[in-house]
Amino acid sequence: MNQDEFFMSKAIELALQGRGRTSPNPLSASIVVNDSNIVGSGFYSNNNDNHSEYYAIQAAGENTKGATLYTVVEPCFNNLKDYQCSNIIKESGIKRVVIAIENPNPNFKGKGVNFLFENKIELKVGVLKKEAEKINETFIKYYSTKLPFINIVYSMTFDGKTSTSIGDREWILSNESKNKLHELRLTYDAVMVGVNTIIRYNPQLNCKLVGGRNPIKIILDSYARTPTNSKIFIKNNSENIKSNVIIVVNNYASEEKINELIAAGAEVIRCSDEDSHRIDLKKLLNILSKKEITSILSEGGGNLHFSEINEKIADKVSIFLTPKIVGGKDAPTPVEGEGISLMSSAIEIKNVSYTSLGNDLFIEGYF
């Protein structure tokens, strides 16, 4: 690893501190290096008024003269001169800028690079590009397609069951896996489940990490069957605080039930398939995109997962595999629906990775 890669890896590591707090903008961080020493750093978060370049340059002070700035995402450039990071870099006396990736937002992509080049600041673009794209995969998908990135996530035993036949799954995951699941909930804008998951398990779907941000909860519920006393309507079990809940129904759902859900604190969206009573997932994603929901963690159940895969709207799958066996032909499995008839037609998962979490195995791959 050369010096540019070393300092960029530090910037990427710092950018992760903004997880769950940058949407609809990408994860980014900046480091100012002078004489091989880090003299200033900063990361982007929606909690802050400025971008990471501003904070890194402010922290470096006079040490910016002749220094190198490492930044994960291309510095912004717009018509508001006092607020554009590219102009702040120019005025700071920084001599060289190293960038991992261009801004995934087409409204800004390439503009910061062009401004710096025109002002004779030495540039290097593409250092640790794959690593920067990895942490920003949801944003890159969102800005390139205007659709949310969907990660299907589920927990299953060695025999492929998500719970026992009577619906018990309380101890399916190790503590390490539970922490990882809550990290995912922190990272994604929204969690999506089918109404049967709510009725059968009554999950809260919150992020339980200290200081964690709770995701938006999206429930696919054609006939508005979600119980109004479900845990999804409460941010904290000890507090009666309404949460961010979106219930998606079809055009035949009862107005009375819809009004009850609205009174419980939900936003209700009608989104029917024209030829059936089923929810139109592709139409729904366009609606959610307009709400700047850039990423969705789909936590089931099996019919929803099959629909997402079958309709080719899923981007990624994350699996918690636990070394337990429960058996039972009626115990639910993670992907159900109509299924695929021939093994030769099975969906292949690409770029698979494996990580140990306690006694569990965490597996990720892409469609």
Q: Where in the sequence numbering do the catalytic residues fall?
A: 53
Strands 190-194, 360-366: parallel, antiparallel or unpaired by DSSP? unpaired
CB distance 21 to 46 below 8 Å? yes
Sign of CA dihedral 364, 5, 44, 290: negative
How far apart CA 277 and CA 224 sit, in angstroms, is: 12
**Distance between CA atoms of 135 and 166, rounded to whole angstroms?**
38
The DSSP secondary-structure symbol of 52 reads H
Q: Residues 55, 57, 63, 69: is their CA dihedral positive or negative?
A: positive
Distance between CA atoms of residues 320 and 181, nearest Å:
9
Q: Which two tokens stand for residue 329?
A: 């032909």
Task: With CA atoms as reference, report the closest residue to 85 among 117, 125, 57, 47.
Answer: 57
Rounded Cα distance, 364 and 273, in Å: 31
d(CA 122, CA 96): 5
